[in-house]
Amino acid sequence: LVTGNKSYADITNEVCKPLESFPTKTWYMAFGLALFCMLFGFANIAYLFWEGTGLWGVNNPNGWGLAIINFVFWIGIGHAGTLISAILYLFRQDWRTGINRAAEAMTIFAVMAAGIFPLIHTGRPWLAAYWLFPLPNNMGPLWVNFRSPLLWDVFAVSTYFTISLVFWYIGLIPDFAMIRDRVVKPKMKKAYALLSFGWGGSVRHWSRFEEVSLVLA
């Protein structure tokens, strides 16, 4: 648009091209590498569960160690994504639009990665993670310890993740509507119509879109 060589239709076609075509060999190679890294990570987590968190050097004087370092690191990465997207939106920087989706997605995945480490830190999550949530139980007055940093993580991470997810999804609504208007298969059209919440691109829709985005930012 800046150079005058492309129209809005050309840009729309470029944006939708990855969704309307089959993945390339490069994509499969990148996916295979990512899949290998994920399986390697799961193998390490399984080994940690088998041997215990002593592998991390966790003991009585050293209560967190590697777990809290990784937790804080990924939370910091998530805050960076929020900073890039939300702060630049508040200051109305037009160049933000080219990177905001990646920044918001980075926030969501970073928070998901951060949430893994307090869970792993409990040692045997299927036995201990239950007590991180204020669920009713039949063991008398037993309740969660609201002074525990583990419980702070539950509330902080879940709240941050929820708001970031909503902020990311709100920005996708016009795009879902664009794809809805392009797809041919009835089932896919219904699915994208549901995701787009009946978006029509009217002035009223854009006004509400801006208001909600501003509040979330």
97: buried, middle or exposed (CB in 10 Å: 19+, 13-18, 0-12)?
exposed
This prediction has a pTM of 0.76
Both tokens of residue 164? 């970031």
Residues in the chain: 217
pLDDT of res. 73: 92
Q: How do the residues of the chain divide into helix, strand and coil, expressed in percent and rounded to 5? A: 75, 0, 25
pLDDT of res. 1: 58
Contact 84, 110 (CB under 8 A): no
pLDDT of res. 32: 96
pLDDT of res. 35: 97
Q: How far apart are CA 94 and CA 88, in angstroms?
A: 8
Contact 121, 53 (CB under 8 A): yes
Helices (H), 65-185: 66-82, 88-90, 100-121, 125-128, 149-182
Q: How far apart are CA 100 and CA 91, in angstroms?
A: 13
Q: CA angle 192-90-73, nearest 5°?
A: 80
Question: Averaged in consecutive runs of 10 residues, what is the pLDDT profile of the chain (217 residues)?
Answer: 74 83 91 96 90 83 82 88 83 78 88 86 77 66 71 82 89 88 86 89 89 86
- Taking CB atoms within 8 Å and a gap of at least 24, the contacts of 157-163 are 157/75, 157/111, 157/114, 157/115, 157/118, 160/75, 160/78, 160/111, 161/108, 161/111, 161/112, 161/115, 163/216
